[in-house]
Amino acid sequence: MNVLITNQQESVLANLETEIIKTLRGEYGVDEIISQFSNFFFGKMVLDVTSIKDYKDIVNYQKLSIGLPVDKIILFLPNDPMVTDPSFISKLISMGFYNFGKTLEEVAYLVEHSNTYKDVAHLHQLEPVVAAAPVVVGSVPVPTQAVASAPAQVVPASRVIGFKNVTENAGATTLVYLMKRELETIHGKSVLAIEVNKREFMYFNDSTLVSVTKQDLMSQLLKARNYNIVLVDLNDCDPNVCDEVIYLVEPSILKLNKLMKLNSKTFDKLKGQRVVLNKTLVAGGNIQTFEYETGVKIFDVIRPLDDRSSKPMLTDFMNKLGLIR
């Protein structure tokens, strides 16, 4: 069920054919919108941006991107050059807003088919990248002096792997840290570890770990192209910024029942994805039972890890990912 917030474009959105669980009409401060829906479960939010007080101020969208899940928000833009300007759109993309449209048809499509970064990358204006060595645009090397005029879709040469907790506190942060440590110290890989919208890396006392906001993630990935591997603790960030994503599930009764209470369709969306059971002693027939009940094929199972040990602990898992041989 979806949420609709309208103001100046109410007459247009009245023709939107979708199931609406809640509707707001009028003009609201961003803080009001966040407080109304931060603990409210909804599928998509169709937001007529004229409903936002000072909707031409990009700072308000930044607040919104922090307070609510941007992947669920569809921005309905008015015919106003201030908010349809390419630089304004690019700033929205940097904040993680990939779903926006100027017509009812565009909004209706986005309700059913969410955009990913790849769908809007051509609209994203990135700052020029300066490098001492040639970089890759698509599959063709170009010299450094050509980078400033290269298209916006300059992509990192690294392999970018995202980790996303499906159940609460499924261990993405610690797993990313331990993988980085093991890949570097035992296998000699060049690895960058990034966490998004959290500051938990600070407790590992490792100055090479990077914490960024959703707004800064893409620029950080562009800087990381010289690393062999980039590991990203995604938290609430859009998984599509990564080449591949590992979805972590801690399959305890408490965690699974809590997840199902919040969203009974979670595992339907994970079919065909790389799902890993983490921090668990589940084995054998219990894994098969889990797969049968959820309809999800398990990519791997990771036992509880001793983060104080310097011994290899993730060899099998990283072999399956093709990170080591």
The span from the CA of 301 to the CA of 303, in Å, is 7
Helix (H, G, I), strand (E, B) or coil at 147: helix
Residue 203 φ/ψ region, left for φ over 0, alpha for ψ in the -120 to 50 degree band, beta for the rest: alpha
Cα–Cα distance for residue pair 201/193, rounded to 1 Å: 9
Q: Provide the pLDDT for residue 127.
A: 53
Residue 60 — φ and ψ, nearest 5°? -65, -35
Q: Determine the Cα–Cα distance for residues 125 and 3; give it in Å rounded to an integer.
A: 30
Number of other residues whose CB lies within 10 A of the CB of residue 80: 15
What letter represents residue 31's amino acid? Answer: D
Instruction: Say how far apart CA 130 and CA 220 lie, in whole Å.
Output: 14
Q: What is the rounded distance in angstroms from the CA atom of residue 310 to the CA atom of residue 324?
A: 17
Tell whether pTM > 0.85.
no
Report the C-alpha gap between 265 and 28 in whole angstroms: 31
Q: What span, in angstroms and rounded, lies between the C-alpha atoms of 247 and 181?
A: 20
Spatial neighbors of 261 by CB under 8 A, at least 6 apart, are none
- The predicted structure's pLDDT at residue 312: 93
In this structure, the number of other CB atoms found within 10 A of the CB of residue 311 comes to: 8
Q: List phi, psi (to 5°) of 71.
A: -70, -15
Q: Identify whether the C-beta of residue 69 lies closer than 8 Å to the C-beta of residue 237.
A: no
CB 51 within 8 A of CB 4: no
Q: Residue with structure tokens 């209706």?
A: 108
Taken in order of first residue, the domains within the chain and their CATH numbers are 2-123 (3.40.50.2300), 159-321 (3.40.50.300)
According to the model, what pLDDT value does residue 238 have? 83
C-alpha 275/C-alpha 247 separation (Å) is: 5
Q: What is the pLDDT of residue 121?
A: 86
Long-range contacts of 27-33 (CB under 8 A, 24+ apart): 27/51, 27/52, 27/53, 28/52, 28/53, 29/53, 30/60, 30/63, 30/64, 30/67, 31/63, 31/67, 33/5, 33/64, 33/67, 33/68
Block mean pLDDT (10 aa), the chain, length 325: 92 91 93 89 92 92 88 92 90 90 93 88 67 44 40 54 95 97 94 94 94 86 86 91 93 92 91 95 90 94 93 94 89
Count CB neighbours of 2 within 10 A: 18
